[in-house]
A and B are shown apart, each in its own frame.
Chain A
Amino acid sequence: MIWRQALVIGLSVFAAVIVELTLLSRLGLPGATPDIVIVTVVAIALAMGPVQGATAGFAAGVLVDLAPPGDTLLGVNAIIYLAIGFVTGFVIDPRDRTVPVVIGIVGLSAAAATLATAALDTLLGSSRVSWEQMPGMVLTSALYAVVMAPLIVPAIAWVVRRATPEVSVISG
């Protein structure tokens, strides 16, 4: 049921992007914007597997770059989210998935995404990145991700179990 998987991935990623840009970023929280997109990508990777994680990451990255007011290079976020989606789905053995491990993975992923986006943007010639603010950004994005993880990860897992039981928990 590849269509069901695509639908689950597409809808959850799209919802995450919209919520991030219209709700979370407008709350004006200190530091980074809570990156619900990366949490969703990791949750999908954990629930469905590395290939679906990578696909979700790619879709999320392209959407984030396409959605207004995005003014960054198209594709940068796609590569980073893709890599994170694949790695988290691939590396974490389903038997090791205790709650602290999952939350830690989500936090690390958010920090890695923030850092990697900034590094890649700088490498590709963007002069926007302010490295003196980076430690705060990395820390707060990891913190917000850790807070969101206990809500998003089980929710996605539940949706995946209901909608696409054939790939639930472990695959490819």
Chain B
Amino acid sequence: MLSRRTRIVLAVLVVTSLTFVILDLRGGQGPLTGVRSVAANIIGGVERVAATVFSPITGAGSWWSTMRDQAAQIDTLTAENERLRGEAQTVANDLARVKALDGLLGVASVGQYRIVPAEVIAVGPAQDFSWTVTIDAGSSDGIEPDMTVMNGQGLVGRVLKTTSNTSTVVLLVDTSSAVGGRVAGTEEIGIVSGTGRQDSLSFQLLDPQADLRVGDALVTFGSKGGRPFAPGLPIGEVVEVGGTPGQLTRVATVRPYVDVSTLSIVAVVTRPPRVDPRDSLLPRAGVIDPSPSPVPLGAAASATPSDAATPQPSDEPSPSPSVPAIEKEQAATLQPSSPGDSSGSDG
């Protein structure tokens, strides 16, 4: 019933597909790696262009609200524009002053994340259950695999692979993602892993005796050398605690601060801060901004990068002598109730 040509075409296509699957299943550096990266380069370039073309639709934040109340939005924006224009008159003056002060202090970049901003240009289909996105910055912008990706709300994920102009980012909610997390204000650490759902992460405490409460905030613990995860980035808030203290393993549900379904502008951390910003980036501290709270000059100078990046087990609450000034300042401004808790030296 099938013609000879049909059968040949089908056979060739099926065999080719199966070959791809088998080669790809082996993993590692197979013959497909080169093909994939070339293809990703080309298609990534087209995606960049397409994302620009589609940006009026996707970039307006919400598709539905754009459709619905554009007129009202225009009115609001016009009013706001007028107000901002007035305020902007003073900004130039302020900026000049800030610049001068920065130069005076010489600490403009100490303790800050060095970042490359990027825009999300493509998102993997939801039915693949892989939470990956493409951003429009690549190796030519200094981005390498295993760099941290963040936005104004906190940790977004890490760079999986790069092409010259685009990078693929694994979001923290992907099931393959695991991040070292620390409960803010304490030394309790654990592993935050993705569940594949956009609104929940699972947090496994390393110390089962730890006191964990609903509402506790988690920040990244930081990896050695700041890769793949820079320290101090807000991860999320505990919404549910499973088990009781003393149980063999305790797992909590965490709601990420970052809404991965509406990602637009993100930043890739090309260099982590020299000093762990501790809890200073958490929303309740009022600073949700890539640059953490001001770091005292003396403390920053005395803290070496390895101090900030070397992980230490939580059951050794040995206060590091190298960063006392920061601890003190942050304890005073952010954790007024428990200043003693936040002494320590984890990364």
Show the binding face of A for B, using Cβ within 8 Å.
Answer: 14, 17-23, 25-28, 31-33, 35, 50-51, 54-55, 58, 61-76, 78-79, 82, 86, 114, 117-118, 121, 124-125, 127-130, 133, 137, 141, 172
Please name 8 further chain A to chain B contacts, defined as beta carbons within 8 Å, in addition to the given A69-B132, A82-B13, sorted by A numbering.
Answer: A28-B63, A55-B9, A62-B17, A66-B39, A67-B44, A127-B175, A130-B195, A137-B126
Pick the residue among B39, B54, B169, B176 that contacts A22 (CB under 8 A).
B54
Cross-chain contact B63 with A27 (CB below 8 angstroms): yes
A86-B123 CB under 8 A given contacts A69-B168, A71-B168: no
Cross-chain contact A73 with B58 (CB below 8 angstroms): no
Closest B residue to A33 by CB, please name it: B125
Q: How far is the CA of A38 from the CA of B43 in the complex (A)?
A: 19
A172-B6 CB under 8 A given contacts A70-B132, A82-B14: yes
- Chain B proximity of A139: nearest CB distance (Å): 11
Q: Which 5 A-B pairs have the closest CB atoms?
A: A75-B20, A75-B21, A69-B132, A25-B123, A66-B39
A-B contact pairs, 28 of them (CB 8 A): A14-B46, A17-B43, A22-B50, A22-B122, A25-B122, A28-B62, A32-B127, A51-B10, A55-B13, A66-B39, A66-B40, A67-B44, A68-B134, A68-B166, A71-B168, A72-B128, A72-B130, A74-B32, A75-B17, A75-B18, A78-B16, A82-B14, A114-B127, A121-B128, A127-B176, A128-B128, A128-B176, A130-B129
A51-B5 CB under 8 A given contacts A76-B21, A128-B130: yes
Output the residue of A33, A35, A64 with the most chain B CB within 10 A: A33
Q: How far is the CA of A27 from the CA of B56 in the complex (A)?
A: 11
Cross-chain contact A28 with B261 (CB below 8 angstroms): yes
Q: How far is the CA of A20 from the CA of B51 in the complex (A)?
A: 11
Residues in A whose Cβ lies below 8 Å from that of B170: 71
- Chain A proximity of B153: nearest CB distance (Å): 16
Is the CB of B36 closer than 8 A to any CB of chain A? yes
Is the CB of B104 closer than 8 A to any CB of chain A? no
Output the residue of A28, A55, A67 with the most chain B CB within 10 A: A28
- Chain A proximity of B92: nearest CB distance (Å): 35
Is the CB of B160 closer than 8 A to any CB of chain A? yes
Cross-chain contact B124 with A79 (CB below 8 angstroms): no
Pick the residue among A27, A114, A141 that contacts B58 (CB under 8 A).
A27
Cross-chain contact A79 with B18 (CB below 8 angstroms): yes
Q: Is the interface of A mostly helix, strand, loop or mixed?
A: helix
Is the CB of B47 closer than 8 A to any CB of chain A? yes
Q: How far is the CA of A143 from the CA of B13 in the complex (A)?
A: 29
A74-B21 CB under 8 A given contacts A128-B176, A130-B196: yes
Pick the residue among B36, B51, B54, B166 that contacts A74 (CB under 8 A).
B36
Cross-chain contact B128 with A79 (CB below 8 angstroms): no
Q: How far is the CA of A121 from the CA of B174 in the complex (A)?
A: 15
A35-B127 CB under 8 A given contacts A26-B122, A67-B40: yes
A58-B20 CB under 8 A given contacts A21-B122, A23-B50, A127-B175: no
Q: How far is the CA of A63 from the CA of B130 in the complex (A)?
A: 16
Q: How far is the CA of A67 from the CA of B134 in the complex (A)?
A: 10
A124-B50 CB under 8 A given contacts A22-B122, A32-B125: no
A68-B125 CB under 8 A given contacts A55-B9, A82-B13, A128-B174: no
Output the residue of B36, B43, B126, B130 with the most chain A CB within 10 A: B126
Residues in B whose Cβ lies below 8 Å from that of A23: 50, 54, 57-58
Cross-chain contact A128 with B51 (CB below 8 angstroms): no
Q: How far is the CA of A5 from the CA of B23 in the complex (A)?
A: 29
Residues in A whose Cβ lies below 8 Å from that of B141: none
Cross-chain contact A117 with B17 (CB below 8 angstroms): no
A25-B9 CB under 8 A given contacts A58-B16, A61-B17: no
